[in-house]
Structures are given as structure tokens and as C-alpha cells.
Amino acid sequence: MIWNQKNGILLFFVCTIFLFAIIPSYSQQNLERPIQLHPENPHYFLYRGKAVALISSAEHYGAVINGEFDYHKYLAALSAAGMNYTRVFGGSYVEDPGKSFGIRRNDLAPAAGKFVAPWARSDVAGYAGGGNKLDLAKWNPEYFSRLHDFLGEAARLGIVVEIGLFSSQYGEMQWNLSPFKRDNNVNGTDTIEWKKVNTLENGNILGYQEKYVRKLVREANRYPNVMFEIANEPWSDRPVLTDVVNPYLFSGRDQYPNSVDLPDDATMAWQARVAEWITSEEAGLAGERGANWHMIAQGCCNFLYAMRGVIPGVSVVNFHYAYPEAVTLNYGLGKALSYDETGFLGQSDDVYTRQAWNFMLAGGSVFDSLDYSFSVGHEDGNDVEANGPGGGSPELRRRLKILSEFLRELPLVDIRPDFAVVKHAGGVVTHTLSSAGQYALYLDGNGPAELSLNLPAGEYSVAWVDVVSGETKDGGRLKHAGGERVVLSPAFKNGIAMRIVRRESKE
């Protein structure tokens, strides 16, 4: 055949039709795989072909539901600071502006009429947070437009999003704003006490909860940077006192912040049902879009606890205000262990920096500080005036980036907690990760400190990392015949990191 322009045009149209015919099938079968536990080391994640840990100092979970919040600026600020994680609440829970938990400028507490819920507004006035009541039988296009835009932009920037489907109510204040409360919707939801919302004994609310979960799972299914948390702090509404942090207190030993409270049996049964909704919905979507399975996170408790087991389908265990022992006690579960929230200890960056290094160098998978420097009008994270009980700042994010980069240089697939390398560390607390010939240590406290190390024979390079400035100081070479060796650290305050790497023999 003689080639000419007419034949070229014909071939172009044939190829175009062929591509349109196969692309839908291709996209269904070859979606980017969502973040998952790393198959070789489930204490870290496999995301876009790399082993990763998640580090962030992020806003108070209202980025999508607060209509005044510019999440484009927020995500850009997170990315610029080197943060790769954020939490967002799905819309089933909302807080009261200026009142809930003493937070003055609260992203999770939209101003009157600014709550963008997953459900459409009815034509009946009377929602407690301003505007018309909600219609739980209809979805809100504005909300899902914001959700898709948020998740897509986060994916583009490499930021993983935990979608919190539910939360404890904590009291009447938040329950009075709940879409599920009868006064706030036109659907005649059953009148119940707020402590029963997240149980299977919540009347017809359960059916609306299921539809909401399945809808969010469907909408988020295409995004690789998503995981689902069943419920935020599920122990808070119906706590069961299980342990205490310090049993030697004379008084107040059974109260927060010393009590270890777990969800009661009714809450656990409801959480298991929610997990079933997530997994069954994604199973149904597998035939439509190709298998795109997302991790499920389960909240355990504040502080620390050795879990007796996890809900089927759960990959991530969340702790709040966690001690590094939360990792040690649960490492054998073979799950990701997450410090999913901190930020109620004032504005000092030092305390959150220390928490992050201690938890992650104990073998943690996620660290997330609740950052009140993100607020409406300050989505760039520069609202550094006092804002309730917590902190967060550009400085804290800069420090956390140092930790993130320190972890990124480690062989995460192979590294594990090591309790043998440090025999003694005078005046400080240490946490150590190691793999063959490589050791990463965090010394919490003030130095200089004398370390008694138990290392195999060999020649090592030593480096000290200032966790505030990020400056790395060469600690020289260490020639060692094996066994115990004493090393003196530089002077430091509020912690220092150390890296020891075995040098390759040239023989």
C-alpha cells in the first residue's frame, strides 16, 4: 500500500478507537497499588516501590469538612516541610468552635454554616452548627468534590491520608452537633444517649453509618495514598480501666493521664462490624475496578498496652500520647505501630521532638503531632499564637524532617529494634535500631553521656546528629576487636542521635 496523508489519518482514528477500548480495562486492572505493610518488614510500609515510615505534624483533621479551610495551601506546606502523612475526619463527627477541648482556632470546628458534611442539606432549618438540617438519605456533591480534590492532591505530593470514619463523642457538646442526632437531620434517627452512638445498640443510626462507610470506601478506592481508621479514640465514650502507667502514685492513679482505658465489649463489637463493611465493600469493588485494598487502622488506647489481638483485617494499630514501650509491647503482632496523635503538652517543640525520636527509634511506624499552627487563614502553618492545649510550628516540622531524613537513610526492610548493643548508658535513655553492620541510636536526655556498647569485631564509622539543627558531626572511626567498647558522646541537650556503620573490609 502506498502511504499518504489519508492513510495516516485513518490509522490514527483506528488506533484511537483501539486505545479507548482497552484503557478502561487497563485502568481497572492496573491501578496503582495502595500503601500497604511491607511484606519483608511489616513495621514499615511499602509505597510506590519503597519502604517508608510516616512522619508528620498536621492539622486537626478538618481540612475537608471545614468549608473555609484552604487545603491546597495546607498540603503544599506539609510537602514543603517534608511531611508525608496527614489525618482527616470523614464528617460523622464535628466540634464546637472555641469550646471543644479549649481549642480557640479549631479546624475541626467549622464556623456557623461552614460545615461541609457528606450529606446534603435539607430545606428545613435547624442544624445546631448553623444552616439547614442534614438529609442522611442524600449525598452532598460539594463534600465529595472536596474529598476527591484533597486525596488527589495529597497523592500527587506523596502524602498518605488516614481517613477517620468515626470518633468518640466525648460528651453532650459534640453530640449536639452530630449529624446522627435526631435534632440535626430530617430522617427521624432514633433518640439515643451519646454513649451508644458507636455501638450496635444505636437503633436506626447503624444503617446510616453503614451507608456512610460504604460510600467513603467507594469514593476513596481509586487513591493509593489512603488508609481507613475505624474510629478515633474509641475508648473515650465507654472506657474500661485496664491498667495504669504509674502504679505507685498515692492518688489519682486510676485517672487520666495515668489510666490506660480500652473500649468496652459493645464498642469493640461495633468496630468489628465497621471493619467488615470496609472489607466487604472493597471486595465488591474488586470486580469493578480491579483489586485495590486499603489498610485498616484500629485505635488501641492512650499511652501503652500489650494488645491481646486486633480486629480481623486490621494492619495498623494506633496509640495516642504514646510511650515508646507501646512499640516494644506490641512488636510481635507484626503490624504497623502508630503514634497517631500527640499535642496536648503545650507549645514547646522540645517535648514533641523527643516523643518522635523515642517512638520511631523504638521501632515505630508512624508519628503524627497535632499541629495547631494550621488554622483557617493560616493554612501555611504559621499560626504560632497560643491555641489551646497544644503546639505545632514551622520549627517543629523542620525538626521532624531531620528525623524523617535520618530514617530514610536506614535500610528499613532489614532493620529491627536492638536491645543488646547498648549495655549501659549513664544518665540517658536509649533506643536502638540495627541491621547487619548498621546501628541507629537515640539518646534521650542531656549529655555528654558515656555509652558501653556491645559490637562485633570490625571497623566502624561513627556520626552524631543534632536533632534540633540537623548538623552531623563526624565521630571518627572505631576499630574494635569485639565485645564491650566505651564511647563518649558530645555535649547535648534534650537528645542526640547516633549512627554507627561497619566499614567494608578491603582485604
Residues 6+ apart with CB under 8 A from 53: 44, 45, 360, 364, 365, 366, 404, 407, 408, 412
Per the listing, cell 516501590 goes with: 49
Residues 93 and 167: beta-carbon distance below 8 Å: yes
Residue 3's pLDDT is 39
Which range (2-16, 127-141, 192-206, 342-356) has the least confidence? 2-16
Across all residues in the chain, what is the average pLDDT?
93
> So what's the pLDDT on residue 29?
34
Query: At 290, is the pLDDT very low, low, confident or very high (cuts 50, 70, 90)?
Result: low
In this predicted model, what pLDDT tens digit does every residue of 75-120 receive, in sequence order? 999 999 999 999 999 999 999 999 999 999 999 999 999 999 999 9
Please state which of the ranges 133-147, 152-166, 284-298, 384-398 shows the lowest mean pLDDT. 284-298
Distances (CA, A) of 331 to 35, 203, 243, 302, 505: 20, 38, 19, 17, 34
pLDDT single digits (tens) 457-494: 999 999 999 999 999 999 999 999 999 999 999 999 99
Q: What is the mean pLDDT of residues 151-164?
A: 98
**All three cell numbers of 358:** 523515642
User: For residue 158, is pLDDT > 90?
Assistant: yes
Q: Kindly report, residue by residue over 18-27, the tens digit of the pLDDT.
A: 333 333 332 3
Q: How high is the pLDDT of residue 505?
A: 61
Q: How distant, in Å, are the alpha carbons of 2, 8, 22, 23, 257 from that of 11?
A: 13, 5, 17, 18, 72
Is a pLDDT exceeding 60 seen at residue 292? yes
Mean pLDDT lowest for which of 279-288, 292-301, 307-316, 435-444?
A: 279-288
Residues 406-410 have a mean pLDDT of: 97
Q: Give the integer Cα–Cα distance in Å for 357 and 443.
A: 9
Percent of the chain with pLDDT over 90: 90
Q: What is the CA radius of gyration of the chain?
A: 25
Which band of pLDDT confidence, cut at 50, 70 and 90, is reported for residue 288?
low
pLDDT category at 5 given cuts 50, 70, 90 is very low
The neighbouring-strand residues paired with 162 are 87, 227
Is 465 in contact with 437 (CB distance < 8 Å)?
A: no
Q: pLDDT digits over 368-379, tens only?
A: 999 999 999 999
Name the more confident of 204 and 5: 204
C-alpha separations of 49 from 37, 71, 158 in Å:
12, 27, 12
> Is the predicted pLDDT of residue 69 greater than 50, yes or no?
yes
Cα(243)–Cα(258) distance, integer angstroms: 9
In the block, which residue shows the cell 486499603?
Answer: 294
| Residue 361 confidence (pLDDT) | 98
State how far the Cα of 384 lies from the Cα of 375, in Å rounded to an integer: 10
> How confident is the model at residue 104, as a pLDDT?
95
Mean pLDDT across 339-357: 96
Q: What is the structure's pLDDT at 286?
A: 78
Given a cut of 50, whether residue 263 has pLDDT beyond it is yes
What's the rounded Cα separation, in Å, for the pair 196 and 200? 8
Express each pLDDT in 9-59 by its tens digit: 443 333 333 333 333 332 333 468 999 999 999 999 999 999 999 999 999
User: Per-residue confidence at 388, pLDDT binned at 50, 70, 90?
Assistant: confident
